[in-house]
Structure 1
């Protein structure tokens, strides 16, 4: 039985950089935390440090 799961995705936003707006370095970030990652800030902070956030 897993204690929790954490997911962070970062994607380059092509429609903002190639069309109309032409904004460089447009990134979209999404995250989801469940279980221990949601309940315990120390575990969440350790995860974020490990992935460089």
Structure 2
């Protein structure tokens, strides 16, 4: 995830949080984001189904 800034109008800036899912990249207004939780490493449990 990253934070980027784009110019919305002449003097108004819009800050976005951007993230990717698969091959797609998305962005959302930073004011609408409550928290960012990064994906943790997944541990395989022995003898369990995939």
What TM bracket, shorter-length normalisation? under 0.3
Q: Which of the two has greater helix per residue?
A: 1
Asked which structure has the greater CA Rg, the reply is 2
Q: Which of the two has greater strand per residue?
A: 2
TM-score with structure 2 length normalisation? Answer: 0.26
Higher RCO structure (Cα 8 Å, ≥6 apart): 1
TM-score with structure 1 length normalisation? Answer: 0.26
